[in-house]
């Protein structure tokens, strides 16, 4: 797409012009198809809760995950809870062709990708030097590379249609370096930085772009990554996945660029923004102390 600066280039974000052929092609690609919300890592945890909330809001939903059995169980659970049919896509988002695989399956179901929720994530707890190269590569492949590729692949058609959106699931930990979860916190900081920058670039073009920053959640994620007994879970009581999903859905519809669910998390978010790292990093070192392990969705 051709990029053009506005006359007020020092005060407003850049605008992107879309030629007629691009718009026509984007519209023809979805002719006869229904819009859908595609959620990666949608078989459990936040992803499953977000799927239910979008279904309750009247949206068609596609959930994506690597585990076919878990996906089928999630689809049945969602169907029983909402009375709606859910499309499932078995796919590892870390694969370079993930977007093509997802798009093809979505189209076969008579749908098109209208909203993308990048929820799939990989967690590592413990000292940085204690992690293997394999684990660190997996973390980067899912939390950074896959999210970046999927977002970049989805946005052009959304912009051409002047509708749709992207929600990238980050973490409250994106606001501060996280000793004992160093790589995980750094990956989530990347997600927030990228999301806010893209949101500024596409502002006013009919496409929502938001980052979700949940704190501790009452799911298996923290336990499986080895952080289940970390002290921060006592300082910030875990929210339920459904509560997080309700806040995320509401914030996304309002067009919030950064969504922080929960009052206590919001106060903690502001404190992390205001206090210097000389205070917050030692504090996080104390709060995040716990054994090594890993987790993959």
pLDDT digits (tens, 9 = 90+) for 114-143: 999 999 999 998 899 999 999 999 999 999
Indicate whether 208 pLDDT > 70. Answer: yes
Indicate whether 21 pLDDT > 70. Answer: no
Is 184 catalytic? The answer is yes
Residues 6+ apart with CB under 8 A from 146: 40, 93, 94, 98, 118, 120
86: number of Cβ within 10 Å: 22
Determine how β-strand 15-17 pairs with β-strand 2-4.
antiparallel
Q: Are the beta carbons of 180 and 126 closer than 8 angstroms?
A: yes
> What does the pLDDT read at residue 207?
98
Higher pLDDT, 230 or 141: 141
Higher pLDDT, 140 or 238: 140
> What does the pLDDT read at residue 289?
75
Q: Are the beta carbons of 205 and 187 closer than 8 angstroms?
A: no
For residues 224-235, give the mean pLDDT. 54
Q: Residue 151 corresponds to which tokens in the numbers above?
A: 């977002």
Q: Are the beta carbons of 111 and 34 closer than 8 angstroms?
A: yes
> What does the pLDDT read at residue 12?
40
Indicate whether 11 pLDDT > 50. Answer: no
Nearest CA to 78 out of 222, 242, 236, 258 is that of: 242
Cα–Cα dist 243/237, whole Å: 13
The catalytic residue among 112, 184, 232, 249 is: 184
Rg (CA), the chain: 19
- Predicted TM-score of the model (pTM): 0.86
Residues 6+ apart with CB under 8 A from 20: none
For residues 280-295, give the mean pLDDT. 70
Cα–Cα dist 124/133, whole Å: 12
> What does the pLDDT read at residue 221?
53
Average pLDDT of the residues of the chain = 88
For residues 134-158, give the mean pLDDT. 98
> What does the pLDDT read at residue 229?
54
* Coil vs helix vs strand at 10: coil
Find the DSSP H helices in the chain.
20-29, 45-56, 68-82, 98-108, 133-139, 147-161, 182-201, 221-224, 232-235, 241-254, 263-274, 277-287
Please name the fold of domain 22-296.
Rossmann fold (3.40.50)
Percent above pLDDT 90 for the chain: 73
Cα–Cα dist 212/62, whole Å: 19
Cα–Cα dist 4/165, whole Å: 22
């Amino acid at each position: 797409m051709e990029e053009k600066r506005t006359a007020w280039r020092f005060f407003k974000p850049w605008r992107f012009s879309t030629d007629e052929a691009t718009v026509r092609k984007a519209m023809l690609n979805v002719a006869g198809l229904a819009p859908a919300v595609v959620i990666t890592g949608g078989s459990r945890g936040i992803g499953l809760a977000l799927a239910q909330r979008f279904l309750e809001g009247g949206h068609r939903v596609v959930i994506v995950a690597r585990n076919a059995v878990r996906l089928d169980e999630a689809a049945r659970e969602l169907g029983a809870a909402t009375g709606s049919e859910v499309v499932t896509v078995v796919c590892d988002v870390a694969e370079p062709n993930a977007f093509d695989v997802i798009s093809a399956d979505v189209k076969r179901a008579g749908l098109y990708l209208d909203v993308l929720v990048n929820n799939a994530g990989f967690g590592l707890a413990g000292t940085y030097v204690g992690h293997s190269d394999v684990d660190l590569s997996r973390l980067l492949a899912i939390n950074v590379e896959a999210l970046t590729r999927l977002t970049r692949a989805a946005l052009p058609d959304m912009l051409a249609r002047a509708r749709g959106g992207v929600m990238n699931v980050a973490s409250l930990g994106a606001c501060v370096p996280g000793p004992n979860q160093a790589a995980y916190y750094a990956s989530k900081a990347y997600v927030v930085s990228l999301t806010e920058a893209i949101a500024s670039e596409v502002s006013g073009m009919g496409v929502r772009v938001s980052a979700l920053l949940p704190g501790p959640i009452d799911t298996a994620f923290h336990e499986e990554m080895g952080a289940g007994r970390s002290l921060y879970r006592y300082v910030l009581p875990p929210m339920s996945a459904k509560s997080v999903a309700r806040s995320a859905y509401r914030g996304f519809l309002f067009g919030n660029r950064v969504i922080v669910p929960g009052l206590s998390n919001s106060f903690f978010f502001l404190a992390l923004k205001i206090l210097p790292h000389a205070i917050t990093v030692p504090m996080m070192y104390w709060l995040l102390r716990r054994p090594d392990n890993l987790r993959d969705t």
